[in-house]
Structure 1
Amino acid sequence: MKSTLFLLLFLFSAQLVAIGQELNPAQREKLDSLFGLIESNRKGMGGISIFKNGQEIYSHYYGFRSLKDSLRPNSETKYRIGSMTKMFTGVIILNQVAENRVSLDTKLGKYFPNVANADQITVEQLLAHRSGIPNFTDLPDYGAWKNNAQTRAEMLERIQALPSNFAPDERFEYSNTNFLLLSYIAEEVSGMDYSTLLQKYVLQPADMRNTYIGEKIDPNKNEAFSYVKLLGWELDQETHSSVTLGAGAISSTSQDINLFFKALFGGQLVDAAYLPLISTFRDGHSLGFQEFVFEGHKGIGHGGRVDGFQAYGTYFPEEATSLAFTGNAVLYPMFDIVTGALRILFDLDYTLPLFPRLEEKDLKKFTGSYANENFPFQFNINVQNGELVAEGGGHMFALEYVEGHTFKFDLIGLVLDFVPDEGKMIFKQSGGEFVFERKKE
């Protein structure tokens, strides 16, 4: 009897080990190479976690959570995840629906009647980005107040002043305002603040121990600063959590995000009747979730950006697999990181990225002062620390080499094509194109 019990326990343990080792050595090596290349070429910093059948099968953390202090990240390093927060808000709202505190058909006007079309907009339309309410993060003065604490009254005053973009349910239009309002509705109907709701309906049942509303970033608490690339990696701003709340205020880890997917699709976070609603998409969105179709694999998740942070998480039900990426400095595009990792994971053809560089002697042929009579300033192009650097309009930034004579600066969507033999530089941005002439020495 004892020997039989021991054999059963051994077989069960062996099965768990097998589940956790479904990544073969070649896949692991290629994933390590991908993130090694990104780090060694100074193209980003962050972390990734991959789960299969509820167990982590791969993780990798690279770069620094604080450059100034030379602090490296690990599995418990917290990154701000921006709009991925919307998935958690969706779960909170669905629990309020299940507990009969609100319904998907409840009108926004019951709580905030002064918002345009509030008497027609439903909770479901807010969840699905079909309300017509403009995105408050697009306001012209957003940058002037986003880093400071804002009261609900202050945020509502701004929202209530916005005219509607279209009639409710007329079309899809992504708007952070929808989920900020859903945060306020959840607080109204439950009598709890958003942080308490998050703990009760998401974090505790999912055993997410490294997720919370982000406050002032502290690297000594294993939190990551975010960075943008100028001449080098420069510390970015910190949007205050009261500004975005349920639309984008959460800090988390890639591992915790996968625990969220595990709990959600394991039936621990919402009533089973709501899972089909989460998994049914219209215009690529459902109730706080985004559809992700990749090479025939159908995923459910969300992406997020705030300040210099970028994050993405998706769960593939048919494969019982989830992937979560969290970045605090992203120069190599996040989409390329995620799809590259998925190609490796799903055994699809994948070639590791090349990050070509030019020698300093080759960069020097692009240097000089360039001017266009329709521009109020000239561009001075020179070489610093082995990189081509542009200075103009009171700003200086390093240019990323693309190929041939082409360079770019992604932060402002700038592309510069040089024609050295003709002494020209073609400036491309937002669909516009201008020719700059190099001044003669």
Structure 2
Amino acid sequence: MIKNITCIAFLISYTITAQTFNKTRLDSLFNLLDTHNQGMGSISIYKQGKEIYKNSIGYLDLGNKTKANSETIYRIGSITKTFTATIIMQLIDDNKLDLETLLSDYFPKISNSDKITIGHMLRHRSGLFNLTEDEDFMKWMIVPNTRKQMIDRLLKKEGSFEPGEKTAYSNTNYLLLSYIAEEIEGKTYSEILQSRIIQPLGLKRTAYGKNIDTNNNEALSYVMNDNKWVKIEKHTHMSVPIGAGAIVSTPTEVNIFYNSLFSGQLVSNTSLEIMMDTSTGMGIGLGGETFFGKQAYGHNGGIDGFQSLTMYLSEEKIVVSYIGNGVVMSPNNCIVNVLKSYYDQDYKLPVFSAPLEFTKEELDVFLGVYISESFPFQITFTKENTTLIASAKDGPTFPLVGYQKNGFKSDRAGATINFNTDESTMMLELNGNKVYFKRK
């Protein structure tokens, strides 16, 4: 369960020059990613309610050489939050709940519960401690947990800030929203998901997750280590994330859900407008970005090595979902390449080459803090042995690999960085946009 979309990637405007769909070019892109071990997973593109492209690369079970396909089920991580937000807004539409309802109505012993509203939790403005940052999280995340165990852990934590003071992503918000939905409906979250979303939409490959069953076309997850895929053995027990990250699905069915949400089939028009309001930094179960010059809404996810991203481009009614069970190129960078190919007739396929090695001493000339008048983050460059590290203030931190003299890139972040050491400047190319920085 990873941070809000803006924390893992910067989706920056890109001018659309053409709108010609080229299936062969997209096939070539995924063949290239597959050949160069850039990922394993599946993608789906919907336009105006119809699937216009799907593809899968890699294996759902590498040990048995079982290929992934369009019906392969993956853990979608925090994209689950869009489903949970939809359920909560349905309860509000049904007059069973209100955005101003207080957390203390359900869990009065939690810190600041008499000040925290449903609206605060939906928009990550509650100040609730993020339980996935608990010091013992890695120990208890893999075993079954009761609601009491989860709440008891939270009772030991003070609020991080006053409710409504700022926006800060916390999985705890959506865990508690799940419990509140269960209290109102008198059902488990799994049953609520089934009755309110899965059955009405006729979804067949979407569910509340259980232990992974490869015989049911469910994907295992892998991490790249020394250029080899290594299976991840420890998986989160779904009693831990519930409505914050427990859903499994396919890119096709995630797109069906998103298309149904934005076409008004799941919540009222008033509720949908409220969900899409990102003026405080996050919408309700949605992040809002300018993606390729178009307004986009979506969410990302990450759990147990699975990484995912769904984006809905509202003007053209396009939904793109990518879910990976093995990731080198990030879902963000993958979708950027997909949309560049989709829109740009002059699109060139990415080039993958062996990294250029630098000594610890050679990296010293790049270190420091860089600022830009046109970019909202300052970027600090440090080193760990022979690796250059980029850290954006209030944003992501990621390692870089050298690809030419004074040039570095990160396929995970979709960033290319070129230094001019004589002038102490740096040029950042991020998703088609070039930004000039100068060292402090």
When normalised by structure 1's length, the TM-score is 0.76
Q: Does 1:306 align with 2:303?
A: yes
Aligned partner (choices 71, 75, 94) of residue 70 of structure 2 = 75
Corresponding residue number in structure 2 for 1:202: 197
Aligned partner (choices 272, 275, 290) of residue 275 of structure 1 = 272
Corresponding residue number in structure 2 for 1:190: 185
CA deviation after TM superposition for structure 1 residue 230, in Å: 1.6
CA deviation after TM superposition for structure 1 residue 282, in Å: 2.5
Aligned partner (choices 280, 287, 291) of residue 288 of structure 2 = 291
CA deviation after TM superposition for structure 1 residue 408, in Å: 9.8
Aligned partner (choices 245, 252, 255) of residue 255 of structure 1 = 252
Rounded to whole Å, the distance in 1 between the matches of 2:40 and 2:197 is 27
Counterpart mapping for 1:24-173 below 5 A: 27-173=22-168
Rounded to whole Å, the distance in 2 between the matches of 1:43 and 1:283 is 35
Preserved CA contact (<8 Å) 1:125 1:168: yes
Q: Which amino acid aligns with 1:234?
A: V
Root-mean-square deviation over aligned CA pairs = 2.6
Q: Deviations over 1:227-256 (max 9, x none)?
A: 111232111121110000000011000000
Preserved CA contact (<8 Å) 1:87 1:288: yes
Corresponding residue number in structure 1 for 2:208: 213
Corresponding residue number in structure 2 for 1:387: none
Q: Does 1:403 align with 2:399?
A: no
Rounded to whole Å, the distance in 2 between the matches of 1:158 and 1:348 is 54
Preserved CA contact (<8 Å) 2:19 2:344: no
Rounded to whole Å, the distance in 2 between the matches of 1:408 and 1:292 is 23
Q: Secondary structure of 1:326's match?
A: strand
Q: Which amino acid aligns with 1:289?
A: L
Change (3 A) 1:336 1:408: closer
Provide structure 1 residue ranges, at least 5 long, that are not aligned to the other structure.
1-21, 367-378, 381-398, 412-441
Count of paired positions: 357
When normalised by structure 2's length, the TM-score is 0.76
Q: Secondary structure of 2:173's match?
A: helix
Corresponding residue number in structure 1 for 2:229: 233
Change (3 A) 1:219 1:335: same
Q: Deviations over 1:332-366 (max 9, x none)?
A: 122211111112223375332111037xxx99x99
**Quick check: which has more Rg, 1 or 2?**
1
User: 282-291 or 300-309: which moved more?
Assistant: 282-291
Rounded to whole Å, the distance in 2 between the matches of 1:124 and 1:296 is 29
Q: Secondary structure of 1:118's match?
A: coil
Change (3 A) 1:271 1:339: same
Q: Secondary structure of 2:111's match?
A: coil
Change (3 A) 1:104 1:85: same
Preserved CA contact (<8 Å) 1:50 1:59: yes
Q: Which amino acid aligns with 1:146?
A: M
Bigger proportion of residues as helix: 1
Change (3 A) 1:268 1:176: same
Preserved CA contact (<8 Å) 1:205 1:268: no
Preserved CA contact (<8 Å) 1:205 1:263: no
Q: Which amino acid aligns with 1:311?
A: S
Preserved CA contact (<8 Å) 2:19 2:343: no
CA deviation after TM superposition for structure 1 residue 36, in Å: 1.1
Preserved CA contact (<8 Å) 1:77 1:222: yes
CA deviation after TM superposition for structure 1 residue 174, in Å: 0.3
Corresponding residue number in structure 2 for 1:11: none
Rounded to whole Å, the distance in 2 between the matches of 1:410 and 1:63 is 18
Corresponding residue number in structure 2 for 1:266: 263
**Greater RCO structure (CA 8 Å; 6+ sep):** 2
Corresponding residue number in structure 2 for 1:347: 344
Preserved CA contact (<8 Å) 1:304 1:311: yes
